[in-house]
Structure 1
Amino acid sequence: MISFLRTIFLFTIAGIVTLVLGTTVIVAALLGVQDKPGGLFEKAPRWWSSAVLWAAGIKVRVHGMENAATGQPHIFASNHVSWFDVPALAKILPRYKFVAKAELFKVPIFGRGMRIIGMIEIQRENRKAAFGAYDVAAEKIRSGSSVIVFPEGTRGHAYPLRPFKKGPFVLAIAAGVPIVPVIVHGTIEIMPKGSFWVQPGTIDVHLLEPVSTTGVDYEHREALMQAVRTRMADAMRDLYGVEPLPIPASRLPSSVEILSSETQPTETR
């Protein structure tokens, strides 16, 4: 009963906040407001996320925020197991754009608002169009925004890391920016994939030490991908005792030595 009431409250607040902020963003765009650091289009998704998390009774604990130091764009590569991964990341990260599935852009008001503030639409079933989305993401990075990606491609039902898609790592090489691996934990307990019921709780977000793309070329994209996945898998194992899912042998890079690191992720609160 408590979960039912909390869920009704959440969707009521989310609907109101989406309507108000979405309309505000749309009107602002019609009036000529531009996307700039610290401006409305940067703050709106953070306000939306804060309201949604509050309505759901969720607290977010951040570990390793120093790894997201401002001053240069990053690519934040996160695991993805719940709808609540998105507001948890949106609340805490500095200037960013999400790479989001195309279906979200079809939602009235919400979708148009996302497009106006610069979120990046990706058609997951169309490989050519998906890589076109990463061209757009590269432009966002060059304009000073970080980009948040989910390299597993979609939400999973459990915490073990699944194999990654290559697109985010091609983007990182093309843009020449560091990749910050991110582990989000606690969201399955709040709202697992396939459920509409929310349970109040705490989300832990771990920002791991960045993986540099300096000197990495396109031929080493798979090695870069594996280096990031290994760092995330090691952190998930050390922090929560969760082992990653195996990668098919055909998808393993021939060598990852150039990108491997013995440095362990740091944690702060």
Structure 2
Amino acid sequence: MSRPTPAPSRHRREPVFRTLEIIATTLVRVQGLELRYSGIDNIPGRRSDGAVLAINHTGYVDFIPAALGVYRAGRRTRFMIKSEVMSIGIMRFLVNRTGTVAVDRSAGAQAYRAAVDSLRSGEVVAVYPEATISRSFELKDFKTGAVRMAAESGVPIVPVIVWGAQRQWTKGGIRRMGRSKIPVSVTFGPPITVAGDADAAAETARLREVMYRMLLDAQEGYGPHPAGELWVPARLGGSAPTRAEAAELEEAEARRRAEAKAQKAARPARPWWRHKLGR
């Protein structure tokens, strides 16, 4: 059984974070989302106990139900996000005031150290082991970061499966951010302990297997998956791409990004006075 939502007074020390929690809770109510939680007791309750949350990634807003579940346990989630968002003023403001860890893929060691420090200080740090959104809604191959951080900081990994959030907003043309009354299930699995000298690849494979079984259970208990729907995996009769098809789409997207970046770099720099005049 889920714990009751803690009183706001427990979170007054971080006014920006508290404001975001109010906004997220209000958004969920306006949308009429049916959040279904299980396993909230698996989140460490003491503020001195850190944990890595390993979350599957199916959409742009699946972090909201996961974070609200952690909030119900009286904790806050420090997400690891792409450093590109730091170029946006409001995002830079939020990142700097919510303990979020910005990840620069060209200098990942710095973000890794910041995450380990947060874990050692008792924070709950959320990681997407798949790194990017899964277009197939199946689990992609996992990166080893979650396991390595848990091993080095001496904290457990709490596997998390969010199912249904891809019906709101994801890659492939789905965007329903209005009052949709979509059910979203969030399952927090039993903590996984990783030894400090453990083999990262083997432990990552173990984590993925645990989360795969959790995903199957979440899908089975979710309700009907209508045939042909974009949000339903091909394995369940939906029209989402298979893992192989999703990989091809991602490779094509990566090529387009690389080509655009190369073209931009090849353009001659504009004189300073044209920047001033907007030409």
Pick the aligned partner of 2:25 from 50, 53, 66.
50
Partner of 1:157: 135
| CA drift at 1:237 | 2.1
Distance 1:200 1:138 in 2: 38
Partner of 1:119: 100
Pick the aligned partner of 1:69 from 23, 28, 44.
44
Distance 1:216 1:236 in 2: 27
Opposite residue 54 of structure 1, the aligned amino acid is: R
User: What are the within-5 Å matches in structure 2 for residues 1-269 of structure 1?
Assistant: 38-40=12-14, 41-71=16-46, 72-93=49-70, 94-124=75-105, 126=106, 129-194=107-172, 195-198=174-177, 199-213=180-194, 215-217=195-197, 220-240=199-219
Alignment partner of 2:122: what SS? coil
| CA drift at 1:192 | 2.3
Residues 1:54 and 1:158: Cα distance change in structure 2 (over 3 Å): farther
Q: Percent identity at matched positions?
A: 25
Is the contact between residue 58 and residue 165 of structure 2 (CA under 8 Å) also seen in structure 1? yes
Residues 1:54 and 1:221: Cα distance change in structure 2 (over 3 Å): same
Distance 1:184 1:149 in 2: 13
Distance 1:158 1:57 in 2: 26
CA RMSD for the aligned pairs? 2.3
| CA drift at 1:105 | 2.5
Instruction: Deviation per CA, 1:121-156: give whole Å up to 9, x if none.
Output: 0123x2xx1232110011111222110010100111
Residues 1:181 and 1:132: Cα distance change in structure 2 (over 3 Å): same
TM-score by length of 2: 0.67
Structure 1, unaligned runs of 5 or more: 1-35, 247-269
Partner of 1:18: none
Residues 1:234 and 1:66: Cα distance change in structure 2 (over 3 Å): same
Aligned length: 206
Is the contact between residue 180 and residue 210 of structure 1 (CA under 8 Å) also seen in structure 2? yes
Distance 1:76 1:65 in 2: 12
Tell me which structure has the larger Cα radius of gyration: 2
Distance 2:104 2:53 in 1: 20
Alignment partner of 1:109: what SS? helix
| CA drift at 1:58 | 1.7
Structure 2, unaligned runs of 5 or more: 1-9, 221-232, 236-241, 245-279
Alignment partner of 1:206: what SS? strand
Residues 1:56 and 1:106: Cα distance change in structure 2 (over 3 Å): farther
